[in-house]
Chain A
Amino acid sequence: MTKIVVLVKEVPDAAVQKQVDSSTGRLDRSGEKTLNPFDTHAIEAALQLKESGALDVDEVVAVTVGPSSAVKALHKAVSLGADRSIHLTDDALVGSDVVGTGYALAELIKRESPDLVLAGQQSDDGQSYAVGAAVAEYLGWPGLTQVIKLDVDGQTLTCERQAEYGYDTVKVTLPAVISVGDAINEPRYPSLKAIMGAKKKPLESLSLGDAEIDASKVGEAGRKAVWTGSQEPPAKAAGELIEDEDTAETVEKIVAWLDDRKLI
């Protein structure tokens, strides 16, 4: 029997204009929120492992660390097919950095002792790409990031990960922490019934004390990364517009442009 934990996060909706609050250095997370799109791919990956029988999965558990509103992200996760969910929420968590978040998640995962942890490779807001790796480090498990293909053979996973040039093929033995990219699958839509039944699935809400998590290692108290300032990205030089008058000619122009820069 196999248990999969999927790490999920509530993020501002893609349509919301994102801004950093200059007094705290934190992202302004007001406005419409949603389940981090990359995490829907992690959930889909878990469900596919379960449904295909590649792993003998008896439970998929969604886990999040976040404010009270993050419950909605868990509802979305269980409406997509997770069996139950865990919500760590505590005022002392506010301002946690990536390492602090990774520590808190790892502690939650230890309580569940799953065989596999899946996560989206990045969040739509913080974009650190690093939480999965931090979690793996705290657990002392192998961690793979940017995975876009996942094959199972017994307790061995063969993963393809997107590298800077091409793809790496990596074998790991369970337990492991895998963060997936959006190319790994096409997430399903939740059915109407699943959405309506989502609130009936078990949801465990924990404080730091409940989960026996060391408050000095998270939040403002535990953070090692400190925000000092931000600035606008430098303006990009204007691009080159090629008017499409004669398509054959346009293609030649594009090819020549790419060729000049040794891109093809």
Chain B
Amino acid sequence: MARELAAGELAPNAAHAEAQHAFPRSTFRHLGELGMLGMPYDEAYGGAGLPYEVYLQVLEELAGAWASVAVGVSVHVMSCYPLATFGTDEQRARWLPDMVGGTLLGGYCLSEADAGSDPAAMRCRAERTDTGYRLTGSKAWVTHGGEADFYTVFARTSDHRSRGISCFLVPGDAPGLSAGKAESKMGLTGSTTATIELDGVEILEERRIGDEGQGLQIALSALDSGRLGIAAAAVGLSQSALDHAVAYAGERETFGKPIIEHQGLGFLLADMAAAVDSARATLLDAARRRDLGRPFARQASVAKLVATDAAMRVTTDAVQVLGGAGYTTEFPLERFMREAKIMQIFEGTNQIQRMVISRHLQKDGAAASIRATRAA
């Protein structure tokens, strides 16, 4: 179904919408009607109850046709994660069905202009009021900024660097909330990205997700799962680039034979295929761990790192396979290449992924040294 939808609805519209920088709100509405905006969440709350392994395969299919849509679904799913995972039963029953089972679209407000890779440096404040909180500050790089129906916002409730941050569910039409001008970007131009200004946005206490001060923990936990979505989008994009390159290389002839039969090109395609397959393997490993309820944060970072680096290389090489044609907008490869770049940057730059992985290595180091001693 995802494949048919991708081929029938997404692929034919992608190039035009991306060129027009037009946000495909109606496409997301359609996805919501088909039940595709809450795939990994509990059926009791309107989700589809799919394991991550399956949800990520669907994302792959979407990304191969239109990366902006796959990234949008991934961001939306991540925006629902704090409520779904840390909300009370009452909070979930009240808001989650519309968020995961309906056509609402979410945004995730964590980064700030001076707090991107280091979210604990955030300055956006949530001051206590009689009925709840007043949010003041600005949030940067918000996917669906200005288009979303709700935002999952992280803001400071005390000065404690890591334990002074809390998580809030803010309606998109809350008075005092406004979106800045959409960023002009290199790729994912169909997806809108904007700064969200919070100018004394009053919200009720019942909209705080988790405990006061638990925000950073929630944010990082959401990112662990979100990274899997980005890794899946990267694998889907790479697969699509490879498919286009192989199809072209089988038809295009130089020196009297299809270029795929020239070893230089054939080996390039082989390396691309190896990169796609190995990236998918890291993704599946992390997803299956998550589905089994085992720790997967390190594997999610490995998958995000490997899959997005692979996507950058595979899309770049795919342009090379098509030569001059690949550099034109007649083919989607140049767009794929621009889209791949952001994947190495958002939801934790690949430098941050290495930090996460090395911290896990250090934490697990004691166990590893015991194993090594035993083996000796």
Establish whether residues B5 and A192, one from each chain, have CB atoms under 8 Å apart when the complex forms.
no
Across-interface contacts of B34 in A (CB, < 8 A): 189-192
- Quick one: CB contact mask for A151-184 with B, threshold 8 Å, 1 for yes? 0000000000000000000000000000000000
Across-interface contacts of B8 in A (CB, < 8 A): 189
Establish whether residues B1 and A193, one from each chain, have CB atoms under 8 Å apart when the complex forms.
no
Q: How many whole Å from A36's CB to the nearest CB in chain B? A: 14
The CA-CA distance from A196 to B49 in the complex, in Å, is: 10
Q: How large is the interface on A (under 10, 10 to 19, 20 to 34, 35 or more residues)?
A: under 10
Across-interface contacts of B33 in A (CB, < 8 A): 191
For residue B36, which residue of chain A has the nearest CB? A192
Does any Cβ of B come within 8 Å of A195's Cβ?
Answer: yes
Does any Cβ of A come within 8 Å of B35's Cβ?
Answer: yes
14 CB-based A-B contacts, threshold 8 Å = A79-B1, A189-B1, A189-B5, A189-B8, A189-B9, A190-B1, A190-B34, A191-B33, A192-B1, A192-B34, A192-B36, A192-B48, A196-B48, A196-B49
List residues of B whose CB falls within 8 A of some A CB.
1, 4-5, 8-9, 33-36, 39, 48-50
Establish whether residues A192 and B4, one from each chain, have CB atoms under 8 Å apart when the complex forms.
no
Q: How many whole Å from B243's CB to the nearest CB in chain A? A: 12
Instruction: State which residues 178-214 of A face B: CB under 8 Å.
Output: 189-193, 195-196
Q: How many whole Å from A207's CB to the nearest CB in chain B? A: 31
The CA-CA distance from A98 to B255 in the complex, in Å, is: 50
Establish whether residues A191 and B4, one from each chain, have CB atoms under 8 Å apart when the complex forms.
no
List residues of A whose CB falls within 8 A of some B CB.
79, 189-193, 195-196
Across-interface contacts of B39 in A (CB, < 8 A): 192
For residue A76, which residue of chain B has the nearest CB? B1
The CA-CA distance from A178 to B266 in the complex, in Å, is: 51
For residue A79, which residue of chain B has the nearest CB? B1
Establish whether residues A189 and B35, one from each chain, have CB atoms under 8 Å apart when the complex forms.
no
Across-interface contacts of B50 in A (CB, < 8 A): 192
The CA-CA distance from A191 to B1 in the complex, in Å, is: 8
Q: How many whole Å from B24's CB to the nearest CB in chain A? A: 16
The CA-CA distance from A23 to B320 in the complex, in Å, is: 46
Further contacts, 8 of them, CB under 8 A, given A189-B5, A189-B9: A79-B1, A190-B1, A191-B33, A192-B34, A192-B35, A192-B48, A193-B48, A196-B49
For residue B8, which residue of chain A has the nearest CB? A189
The CA-CA distance from A193 to B34 in the complex, in Å, is: 8
For residue A194, which residue of chain B has the nearest CB? B35
For residue A40, which residue of chain B has the nearest CB? B4
The CA-CA distance from A220 to B49 in the complex, in Å, is: 46
For residue B9, which residue of chain A has the nearest CB? A189
The CA-CA distance from A254 to B300 in the complex, in Å, is: 57
The CA-CA distance from A195 to B8 in the complex, in Å, is: 18
The CA-CA distance from A59 to B1 in the complex, in Å, is: 24
Q: How many whole Å from A72's CB to the nearest CB in chain B? A: 13
